[in-house]
Every structure is written in C-alpha cells, then in structure tokens.
Structure 1
C-alpha cells in the first residue's frame, strides 16, 4: 500500500520529502509531479526497482527511460557532452526539456537504449522534485505515468492513488502539473557537427534555444 505525501507545490515540506527519499533508497517506486506531468521514479542502480517500474508501466527495454538530474554537473556524469551541446543544455535547464545523449559508462546497460547506447536526461524545474533529488543524493530514473493502453499521462494525484495505490510504494501529491509533455531533443546528432533533432514538440519552447 502506497504512502501518500501531501506536499505544498511552492514550499514543499522537507520532512515529507525526506520520508519519500527513504522509500526510494529502499528500492521503492514512487509517483511524483514534474514540470510537465506526473512520473514514476526509482533509484537508478536498483535493478529490481527498475524492472518493477517497467512492469507497472507495461513497457519493454526498448522504451527510453529518463534520468532526472539536479543540475548540469550531475547530468554530465551520465552523458557524453561536448561544448556545443553544453551551451544548448545551459540555455534549456532547468526546464521542460528531455535530451537524448550518448550514455557514459556510469549508466547501467539495462537502462540505456539497447541498440543506440543513449539515455534521455532532464533537469526539471519543479521545487518539490528538485528537493527530492537533493535529499535522495543521486539522479532518479523516470518514466511518464501513462496507463497501459492509454495515450495521456495521469495528472490527478487522487486518481493516481485510486489506480496505483497497491502497486506503488509512495505518491507525492503536490497538486496538478501543467499536463503537457516535455519537448524532446536528440542531441547525439550534434556530436558530428549536425543540428539537434526535434523528436517531440512539447511544453519547452524552441525559439529561446535558437531552434
């Protein structure tokens, strides 16, 4: 049965999020709000938790999972980033963008894309989630909370509780999210002098990035 944490959206209570971080460190899978929609998260290095998260979402190992990082310095530990890529990342973070980059050896093979050896990374702009990442002390592996057979993510924490209470270890309720997906940019093409590829246009605007 999932523990339920009601966190203030603007001034999240550290005490509650510390309890949520403890669940993650023990191998838990949680539903948390981001700056785009609710997502499932777990500890990066916990094989069992990663497999549980995939089962809950009913996705296979070809589905890109996203690594949520606190800042660019943390992101650079898990992705190969050159100067051009870094300048674009600096413009876009924190914010509602997901970047596909070549994974470093720090990323377990089971969570990078099996054919391309890439990883999706983002630095979210949501106070409660950033505090949770800080308290956890490491990036979190995430996937948008879209029920199997559906196309839209869940954005109502009460509905998430009704549908997933028996499958999750915790739910962080910090109110509704913007309910618009992130903009996904493939930056691997920049490594060979190319331009970023827009995989999906979402909440993150392209013009401020010069795209």
Structure 2
C-alpha cells in the first residue's frame, strides 16, 4: 500500500491535517516532512521499531545510526542533552534556524536511538509544519535527510518526486512546497568551544 500524501500549508498548517500526521506518528509510522533546509524523514523517538525501520530505509544498521532529533524550542533540549552555558546562549541566539547542534547525550535519551550513543544532534528548524508537529506530539521526532547512503544525486526537492521515490518505504509524506538543496550547518558543542563540523545553510562565525 503506497504512502499517504498530504499537502499542508507551510506557514499556517491546518490543524486537521496536523492531527492526521500525529496519528501516523503515534502508530509508529515513518513520516517525510519539510524543514527550513532539506526534506527530512523521521518518527517518534520513543518507538524502537520506528528507529529500526528508518535505519532500514537509509540502508544502515540501527546500532550505527547517527540520527538527530527535532525539538519545538529550547525548553525540552535539556531533557535529552547536556547543554553548557555557551551552547545555550548560542542556541538561544540563532535558533530556530538551519543549524544542528551536536551535544553530549543525557541518560534520558531513548536507548533505541543507539545504546552506545554519547552525543545527539539537536534541530529546532524555522518551519511551521515541523515545529507544530513536534509541539502537538509532546516530544521530539527523529530526523535524518531523505538522501540515501548510496545516493550521489542532489537532495530531492519536489514533493511529487519524493513521493515517487519513497511511496513504498514510508507511511506518510507531507507536501509543504519545494524543499531546499542545502542541509543544515552542523556545530560541535560538546566542549567549551563551538566548532563547525559541516558548513551548510546556516551562516557561522567563530
């Protein structure tokens, strides 16, 4: 059975449609959604089977997964990561935005994400659909790009193309308009200094 395709307004997400996305997530489904960078794929972080399925779609082993999580705002980040004063001040200044902060993982991070995981990537995207989903769900969602491990092509940006490629691999795909081509900037905030790991859409100066 092919995935469900839902068109949601990128600025004013329709509550009825968001409710449908939440229903799929709570049932352990995999959802593809827009962000302020590229389209992402994810599910409820508390569902171990969902983590396994996403790893399978990506072509990697769950124990080697390096998924990040999307939070609605800064208030829940300390539930899943240890945040230094410098990291918090920096995050408060530039989030929501196209950045992923790599932080030391707390012991509250679900072991299903990777039992050996010592760090976790945190995203607070500047996108109404994704943040509304996380806000209504009540906890973060896993996030990983929809670019597959063996894919040397650019990130898919057209929701119809994404549907064609993933309709038999996920449960629901959100059409939130064209996606971007540039992923987030990744910042290492695990020490006293913040260092750039990957230069992406977010501008960064030391």
When normalised by structure 2's length, the TM-score is 0.94
Kindly state the Cα deviation for residue 134 of structure 1 after the two structures are TM-superposed: 1.5
Equivalent position of 2:198 in the other structure: 200
Matched, 1:17 2:18: yes
In the alignment of these two chains, the number of paired residues is 203
Q: SS at the partner of 1:100? A: strand
Report the aligned-residue RMSD: 1.4
Contact 2:48 2:113 in 1 (8 A): no
Equivalent position of 1:160 in the other structure: 162
1:81 and 1:141, CA in 2 relative to 1: closer, same or farther beyond 3 A? same
Q: Distance in 1 between matches of 2:111 and 2:175?
A: 32
Kindly state the Cα deviation for residue 112 of structure 1 after the two structures are TM-superposed: 4.5
Q: Distance in 1 between matches of 2:88 and 2:120?
A: 16
When normalised by structure 1's length, the TM-score is 0.91
After superposition, the C-alpha distances for 1:15-35 in whole angstroms (9 at most, x for unaligned) are 111101110001000110111
After superposition, the C-alpha distances for 1:139-195 in whole angstroms (9 at most, x for unaligned) are 0011111034114322211111111111111001001122211000010022xxxx2
Q: SS at the partner of 1:76? A: helix
Could you tell me which runs of 5 or more consecutive residues in structure 1 were left unpaired when the two chains were aligned: none
List, as ranges, runs of 4+ consecutive aligned residues in structure 1 with deviation greater than 6 Å: none
Equivalent position of 1:43 in the other structure: 44
Q: Distance in 2 between matches of 1:156 and 1:148?
A: 19
Could you tell me which runs of 5 or more consecutive residues in structure 2 were left unpaired when the two chains were aligned: none
Contact 1:64 1:113 in 2 (8 A): no
